[in-house]
Structure formats: structure tokens, C-alpha cells
């Protein structure tokens, strides 16, 4: 059997669609050998590669309501702090180490000082995942090894590069299809739309590196903060994933 690698994009609450896709792949007996992720995709990868089933991850999202643990950051660099979520993660991730994962995981984050995309795959696990999620302005940067890191999606929202040469089949899962009928709304809506368009540029640039590019069209109706609609998003991913398992098996 060929080795399968999957790259999971960032996208806020839209990233929950990855869990539905992973559930469909699990049910079809499709084994994933390596996972890469950015932002929400990094969180999905963190739990999945730790051995949690997609349904159990969905339950963790529902039970913890992670957003309530994010407190205001009284600083010039961000409005919210991600650091407070570390203890929540440690409740479920018993070994804070990439090496302890059941499936290899690579996480993309953006080094602000050097202006480059960086891949984390060894050593401490939780802080690099949080760094990958640190949307600029909204969240404080995460400090790692003397450098400041922000959302990996700024430069690499579909990190397929670490899969090249390591996997025989590469799948890219992008949760951010852009709707064509957007009407400018409030400031938050406009900011989200602008960020979505920016990160999609670098995501689509990776499409040709994938053997299969997944992008559920139903996600056009959802925003990055629609956590109250998590179950709907999960179901869209699951149904879409089931429709794609035949193509994946052919590739394998």
C-alpha cells in the first residue's frame, strides 16, 4: 500500500470540516501516514495524530468551547492571548512532544522577525501548534526559541512541502472556498473576507503539488467564527469525504 499524506489548511471554525473528511477516510479504511497542518488544520492534526477519533475531537471542541479560554491581551501586539489555552490542551495531550504522536505531524507557523514560513516537527508540541493559530492583530504572537511566531496561513496555508518525497500520494484539504456574492458588512466581516482572500492565494499555489485537492463547496456559506454551527460543518466534511474515498483508493 502506498503511503498517504494529507495537508490540512487553516480557516477558523471552517477547519472543523477536516474532521468530517477524516472520519470518512477512517470509515473507508484509508490509512494516513503523515499529516501537515496550519492553524485550525494544525489543531485538527494535533488531536488526530494523538490518537483521537474525529468524532471524539468534535466532542472535545463542543465540551471545551476553546474560545472561552482565550482572554484579552493587554498589549500592543494583539487583542487576545492564546497562552491561556495551553492548560486546556495539556488535559487531552498527555505528552507535549512531537515524538510521542502516533502519526507524524508537521506544523507550519510564520516567523515574524525573519519573514519566513517555518515547519515544526520535533520537540515541544503544543506551543508550535498555538503559534500556527496566532492570527495577527487578533492574537499575541507566540514566542519560541527567541523568535516571535504568528499564524502559519499568512505565508503557507496549505503546507504540502513536508509531504513531498515522504509520501506516495498527497492530498490537500482546503476549507476556504470563496463565495462569489459577498456584500461588504461590518469591519469584522470585511477583515475576515480580506484575510480569506489573502491566504487562499498561497493555498491555491500548492494545488498542483497535490495528487488530489479537496475543497467542499458547501463551506462557502460559513465564516471563520461560526463555531455554533460546528456540527453542520463537520457533517459537510463527512458527506464530502465519503464522496471522495473512491478517488483516494484509486490513487493508492
Q: What is the spatial distance between Cα 209 and Cα 139, in angstroms, rounded to a whole number?
A: 31
Q: Angle CA(15)–CA(18)–CA(20) in degrees, nearest 5?
A: 120
pTM for the structure as a whole: 0.91
> Cell digits for 115?
519573514
Task: Identify the pLDDT of residue 225.
Answer: 74
| SS3 category, 118 | strand
Task: Identify the pLDDT of residue 202.
Answer: 83
DSSP state of 214: E
Give pLDDT tens digits along the chain (252 positions): 799 999 999 988 899 999 999 999 999 999 999 999 999 999 999 999 999 999 999 998 887 765 555 445 556 565 556 777 888 889 999 999 999 999 999 999 999 999 999 999 999 999 999 999 888 877 888 999 999 999 999 999 999 999 999 999 999 999 988 777 766 767 767 777 777 777 777 888 899 999 999 999 999 888 777 888 999 999 999 999 999 999 999 999
> Cell digits for 203?
493555498
Task: Identify the pLDDT of residue 195.
Answer: 73
Cα 144 to Cα 97, 102, 109, 248: the distances in Å are: 15, 24, 11, 37
Q: What is the spatial distance between Cα 120 and Cα 55, in angstroms, rounded to a whole number?
A: 26
Task: Identify the pLDDT of residue 63.
Answer: 79
Task: Identify the pLDDT of residue 75.
Answer: 61
Task: Identify the pLDDT of residue 26.
Answer: 98
Task: Identify the pLDDT of residue 31.
Answer: 97
Q: What is the spatial distance between Cα 103 and Cα 198, in angstroms, rounded to a whole number?
A: 30
Amino acid at each position: 500500500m502506498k503511503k498517504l499524506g494529507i495537508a490540512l489548511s487553516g480557516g477558523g471554525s471552517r477547519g472543523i470540516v477536516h474532521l468530517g473528511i477524516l472520519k470518512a477516510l477512517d470509515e473507508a479504511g484509508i490509512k494516513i501516514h503523515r499529516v501537515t497542518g496550519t492553524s485550525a488544520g494544525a489543531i485538527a492534526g494535533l488531536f488526530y495524530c494523538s490518537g483521537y477519533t474525529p468524532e471524539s475531537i468534535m466532542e472535545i471542541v463542543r465540551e471545551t468551547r476553546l474560545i472561552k479560554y482565550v482572554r484579552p491581551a493587554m498589549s500592543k501586539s494583539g487583542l487576545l492571548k492564546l497562552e491561556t489555552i495551553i492548560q486546556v490542551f495539556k488535559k487531552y495531550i498527555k505528552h507535549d512532544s512531537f515524538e510521542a504522536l502516533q502519526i507524524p505531524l508537521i506544523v507550519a507557523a510564520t516567523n515574524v522577525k525573519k519573514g519566513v514560513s517555518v515547519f515544526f516537527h520535533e520537540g515541544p508540541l503544543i506551543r508550535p501548534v498555538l503559534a500556527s493559530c496566532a492570527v495577527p492583530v487578533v492574537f499575541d504572537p507566540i514566542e519560541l526559541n527567541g523568535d516571535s511566531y504568528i499564524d502559519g496561513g499568512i505565508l503557507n496555508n496549505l503546507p504540502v512541502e513536508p509531504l513531498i518525497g515522504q509520501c506516495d500520494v498527497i492530498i490537500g484539504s482546503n476549507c476556504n472556498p470563496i463565495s462569489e456574492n459577498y456584500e461588504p458588512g461590518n469591519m469584522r466581516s470585511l477583515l475576515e473576507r480580506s484575510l480569506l482572500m489573502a491566504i487562499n492565494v498561497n493555498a491555491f499555489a500548492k494545488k498542483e503539488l497535490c495528487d488530489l485537492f479537496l475543497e467542499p463547496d458547501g463551506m462557502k456559506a460559513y465564516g471563520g467564527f461560526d463555531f455554533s454551527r460546528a456540527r453542520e460543518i463537520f457533517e459537510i466534511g463527512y458527506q464530502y469525504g465519503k464522496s471522495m474515498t473512491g478517488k483516494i483508493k484509486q490513487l493508492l
